[in-house]
Structure 1
Amino acid sequence: MPKTILIGISAGIACYKMIEVVERLKEKHAVEIIITEHVQHLLPLAELENTLVPVHRSQWTKGYSWKEYRDEAKSDHITLADAVELFVVAPATANVIAKLAHGIADDLLTTTALAVQSQIMVFPSMNCHMWENPCVQENVATLRKRGIMVVEPAEGNLACGYAGKGRLPEPDEIVAEIEEQLSLSGILLGKKVVVSAGAIAEPLDGVRSITNHSSGKFGIALAEAASRMGAEVALLLGRAEVQPRGKVRVVPTPTSRSLEEAMKRECADACLVVCAAAVPDFRVKERVAGKIHSSKELSLSLVPAPKLISLVKAANPQAYLVGFKALSGAGEKELIAAAKQVIDSAHADLVIANDIAGHPFGSERSMVIMVHADGEIAMHEGTKQELSRIILQGAIERL
């Protein structure tokens, strides 16, 4: 099915590659282009116009009238943002990446980006030392935290004479990435997905609690990815370092008991449930009312807490269940064995196992082993956004 794609081209030396990308995409999709001011120094405007797709250069078009805007309530950046199903920025220079990360809107491309509600894909392209600069890496991390898909640049010989990471991928690779993203759009339309995420607390008294480390980033990335695929998403969220972006319904679940109640309620009509929250394995035998005085030594009696993942199949036997299993200092065989135990005990359909020693809490990247109940096992490494897409694809194939 044809999609509406907006291509934002910034003034990177590799911008000439985007002519072929546009030519190939327009065969199946409705494509429009935004260029930044300095692109014309690298790529003649006539070449862009020869693609026969609309080319937008400025918010201040010839004959612009504020009275017309007032009367018709029309503005180019809002019109473009509302119509687009995928916004692609390629090549994305260090300058444009910084503007996107910090919400600077000083031209048509960056102003439109702030208004876009659909998926944004960014293809960085620059000198290898610029790409490795901490400023650029922090800006890229910021974009990923906000759900923007940043495609890693390729390695090879660069236009500046250096060799390293920073090349814009070749046109066929860019088109393949875009088509893959478009293929997922709407694939979960009409379906309900429930995701638990973040650190969950088990109260000791009125002010203290037992909890686990968790940034919530992975679970939130999964919720955002499911939303972009068209699903109605309920995010059961504990304490998290980031907040979800897009059309995700957040259900606050700060404690184990609130999460338990929400799972029973939300999972009953879900087709896919992802249990990514960090739930304490123990709770106090007897919770103390009020606040425990700190003037004396304290001994706590802890008992095993219920495994909330086991509630899912009891509430909805038809739901596809994805669980997470984190170990520390574990090898591949141990991780797979632990994942299989969760499959057996909770009747999970897929378990994502990872060793937290290799990628500490809060990191943007992770390495996971996907263990399916049907026996398939696969290892993947990437950003949490990239892994979320892979995990959901694996689940969707089996729904």
Structure 2
Amino acid sequence: MVKYEFDKPIDRSGTSCIKYDARERIFGQNDVLPLWVADMDFEVAPEIAEAIQERAKHKIYGYTMRCDEYYDIIQDWLKRRYGWSVEKPHISFSPGVVSALAMALLAFTKPGDKVIVQSPVYFPFFTTIEQNGRRVLNNQLVEGTNQYSMDFDNLERQIDNQTKMMFLSNPHNPVGRAWTKEELTRLAEIAEKHKLIVVSDEIHSDIIFSGHAHTPYASVSEYAAQNSVTAMAPSKTFNLAGLSTSVVVIENERMMKDYNYMVETFHIGLTNPFGLVALKTAYEKGDAWLEALLKYLEANRDYVAGFVQKEIPGVDVVLPESTFLMWIDFRGLGYSDKELQHQLVRMAKIGLSHGPIFREGGEGFQRLNFGCPRSQLEEAMERLKKVIHA
């Protein structure tokens, strides 16, 4: 049996890596332990690395097309992982999930339209809407004792005749909810009642922990299938974010035509040859690596949660059902967000994602990326404990 190595520390400095080489720009200093941007500090599966290396031997890296095999492999992955049957004409492409959100926004709304988001949420949702002349309608999540939930009643009250679309984070970044089929069905009923298109960011769909499952939004009803855009990728799952290869599923023929027109308009439809190889190899040969990864990530999650609960009074965590991201609640310490950032960056020398960038509901929180070797997490927790106790 192949043993995959997740404990191995890897120095990514000097590789033009945003997570490490942008520390000076983001945090004002280079010596922070970076646990912020959402890629992992693990080597990719050896099968993927070998396939990319083999492709590189050809030494010509020209314009690349997506052949029938590409679609077959994606169909098989969606069926095996989620029981979701998708036809080939319903599969399209985007360099990234955020690009797919932008293309859908431009294809299916007009300037001035309102687009629903559920804060605290992945901050490009807001900028994609605002920078393209649309308006954000925030249906803030409800914070419970141990988890968050959707506020369906508030959602219905807010929708008006200018509300045309919703950006859904499924699973949710940063609070880590793997929305249940029942929750998504209720959401689809509201969308049908008000004739909304839902654009579902499902980039974290493969990172699901014990006792939970991923349900594609488009699979919960016929209306959801015919009035949605699903954006997925192997990038979070297999640590391939730099290869710019995402998958878009649209089951409505007219909507697919309009989406592809936008992709063609902005000339972003060409495939990266190495991204193509990586996607195909990941979805064909990556199951064993992924299962090992999930066990490691779940253990990392439980380690951070246990350490915080035992060693750092005044700090709490929201235990994620999905993603390799931990939403940490520092409000019990009584710091302002500016003071908290100072303590974490200047004193503890830890670089996390600052809660307020996720908008309403992010105040007093920080997002931690636990997709890294355990030794790195242990160092971060000890630094945090020392500063908080001091």
TM-score (norm 1): 0.30
Question: Which of 1 and 2 has higher RCO (CA within 8 Å, sep 6+)?
Answer: 2
* Rg comparison, structure with higher value: 1
Larger helix percent: 2
TM-score (norm 2): 0.30
